[in-house]
Structure 1
């Protein structure tokens, strides 16, 4: 499709392949926006169970006065179950939301390419797999892009619109307009490992794990510093427990592998050992912390130690290390032309609830200060993890 080709923005049919929590949520979002939606899953009965769960969730919102009964009924009436990809009607958009397996995604996209016309936009909801690798299964890859929703899709505003190297600009613009029409906030990015959020967030987890691993402070104290001094809603050790240590490790490992095993993204032994033991966090009842009733039982932080660490040598300051690495990562992504500074900041605030965007934080701290911190860390821990972005050396993104 030519980049100047207009795409019809009227309400068309939408299909979602994969009826897990993400797929069901995306289907609900599309149906709430007025689309007729088909939900399909290879597992027998999975799509029907997803519709039933959607009904329960909508009934709960009606009971709390957050949604009218007629509106809830309308959403459910617009969601139908299909038995297979081949049985889907002609759609304006198909969103793939199957598990994070490149082989499985290629299989789905190959089937969609055969059954849907060239005008159908094909989107993957992957959080870290290269869009180009998925598009290899499609004869016309210009219509393939990423639409990365965040969990839960109904509540989370952010959607990363991910452009592959062959994605048509017309499809990207159409996706942006569609996401906005669905009441979401789109951010654009190139198909870089981890996209925006999962790339920029790596240091938030990695620095905390390394500080605990090195014995600088215990997990509760590191989390306390990031919450109380940094303003983050949840400390990084608690957050990885909440997400699932296995899930967080898998995303981090994917970014590491896709960047040629760049030392900046190397997994920590601490997290690998948690996963090997099966201490995955909230879902297993134990991770870094013990979990009861879906909540972490946090250890008492060492407040004296926390006060000494913050503002002390950067090598042992959890806040200085984390902020410098977040800013460095964000600046580097913008410097490579993979996203705009505005979209990076929007993504990190909406996607992971950072108190402010890392580019804005860098301007506030001073990019020269951030560079000095990174240089000091590189001297203390040589090996490539701590290397300043060229944009920092050039005075940041002013």
Structure 2
């Protein structure tokens, strides 16, 4: 390993939340750490805060008390950049402005030794652009931590055009030695996480704009059906609507306004209205003391249908069968039908969404009583199932389908009939973006999945999810979405190659 010697000092520039977090990580790993900030007293204040945090963690036996004491003792504030002259690594965590970062690193070149490595914690600015102002850009790389840095394991190690391989390797090995799970990426807009995660926010916000579902129900579907830790509305409220919108605009502009990255008018209205999320007390949801918790809009209880039939051996049909048996509900097990139906409840025919609206599918099948079910992470344990009915579907069929799902122990979330529904649409777009990212050499297939699991807590990496449901399914969904909406949903070349060859990208 090319790990930075633990006896070498690490400097962190920027004493905000991220900079203080990185300083804590380096100090806990045994390095002397120098913290610098242009704001007078900010570095000392951050070190005091780190000390209190570590003392609390030690009292709760979350960290070793002796290690915590050594870490606090290893932290020192710097008065000027000149105090960083003997450092082996400098990590920058200042404002997200190219000019500010480039000027800082240019000044550091005249202070630190030629052997000192330079790292930027930028989340979106190309490392290549930052390094362009340096006389020796080969020693600069990206070291993108995720907030809170002491707790989240992912670090993206970014190589610009001029980053030396030994620089990237040392940053990677050092992050690993600090107890992190690093991944490698090439310097492109958004790197891995901020690029591949855009559809999670973008599709949720688009569904709100289409009035397919309300914010609380959207989040509940994402959690209780999709298995995500948080829904897009509560997550953007946590991040800050202004921050999330700014990243979206940055990625959109960097990709020359590609439609799949188009920012949301719904989110922009929140920003314009000062509803920035938790930090402002209000975003999609109200965070004032005593405000009611967001509640999803779920279907009222319906009687169990007289006739229940399940078709074929798909995971969804098998899961419904297991749940009905556990509830003591009788049903007929039938052979697979050519139209792909999953279940029948009286006259209602239920299908897994394939990217078409229920209305179009009813028309194509010549079956007015057509209803669609969404993709779920695990249909055997999901708590919720979104349900979309064709416009021509009789009310009695909607009630029968609802009664079947409720008999299987599922909350039913009725949504407006839009192509792709919620989870399927989101997962298909995540998989498409991950495939495109890997095919462009930004990162490996294994790294994109690890980054999305560790950086944003996805229940599955996008490529693992694609492999689970099949590239052909993802391709079909996107093809139908593309027909309905246009270029935003165009399947990437890597997805088409996987479909035509039958060979998925390898995910370790």
Task: Please indicate the TM-score interval, normalised by the length of the shorter structure.
Answer: over 0.9
Contact 1:314 1:377 in 2 (8 A): no
The correspondence for 1:345, drawn from 429, 446, 449, is 449
2:232 is equivalent to residue 236 of structure 1: yes
- Pairing of 1:28-47 with structure 2 (within 5 A): 28-47=24-43
1:391 and 2:494 aligned: yes
> Secondary structure, in 3 states, of the residue corresponding to 1:154?
coil
User: Deviation of residue 363 (structure 1)?
Assistant: 0.5
What secondary structure is seen at the aligned counterpart in 1 of 2:90? strand
Which residue matches 2:341? none
Match of 1:268? 264
Unaligned runs of 5+ in 2: 301-372, 374-384, 389-412, 499-503
Q: Is 1:221–1:303's contact at 8 Å kept on the other side of the alignment?
A: no
Aligned to 2:386: 307
Aligned mates of 2:60, 2:465 — CA distance in 1 = 38
Q: Comparing 81-90 with 97-106, which one deviates more in the overlay?
A: 81-90
Partner SS state of residue 158, structure 2: strand
Structure 1 residues 375 and 182: alpha-carbon distance in aligned structure 2, compared to 1, 3 A threshold: same
Q: How far apart, CA to CA, are the structure 2 residues paired with 1:59 and 1:397?
A: 46
* 1:316 Cα deviation after fit: 4.9
Q: Does the C-alpha gap of structure 1 residues 126 and 294 become closer, same or farther in structure 2, counting only changes over 3 Å?
A: farther
In the TM superposition, what is the alpha-carbon distance from 1:252 to its structure 2 partner? 1.0
Is the contact between residue 131 and residue 163 of structure 1 (CA under 8 Å) also seen in structure 2? yes
Gaps of 5+ in 1: 1-5
Structure 1 range deviating more: 301-310 or 194-203: 301-310
Is 2:297 the partner of 1:193? no
1:289–1:296: 8 Å Cα contact kept in structure 2?
no
Q: Deviations over 1:292-324 (max 9, x none)?
A: 469983133334796313899761501111000
In structure 2, C-alpha distance between the alignment counterparts of 1:296 and 1:158, rounded to whole Å: 34
TM alignment of 1:79-158, pairs within 5 A: 79-158=75-154
Tell me what 1:3 maps to. none
3-state SS of 2:184 partner = strand
Check whether the contact 1:314–1:320 (CA below 8 A) recurs between aligned residues: no
The aligned residue for residue 60 of structure 1 is 56
2:476 corresponds to = 372
Is 1:10 matched up with 2:5?
A: yes
TM-score, normalised relative to structure 1: 0.94
| Partner of residue 220, structure 2 | 224
Contact 2:154/2:455 (<8 A) preserved? yes
Q: Which moved more, 1:336-345 or 1:69-78?
A: 69-78
- Counterpart CA distance in 2 for 1:136 and 1:18 is 22
Total equivalences in the alignment: 392
Which residue in 1 is equivalent to 2:459? 355
Report SS of the residue matched to 1:380.
helix
Tell me, yes or no, if structure 1 residue 258 matches structure 2 residue 254.
yes
Higher helix proportion = 1
**CA root-mean-square deviation:** 2.0
Structure-2-length-normalised TM-score: 0.74
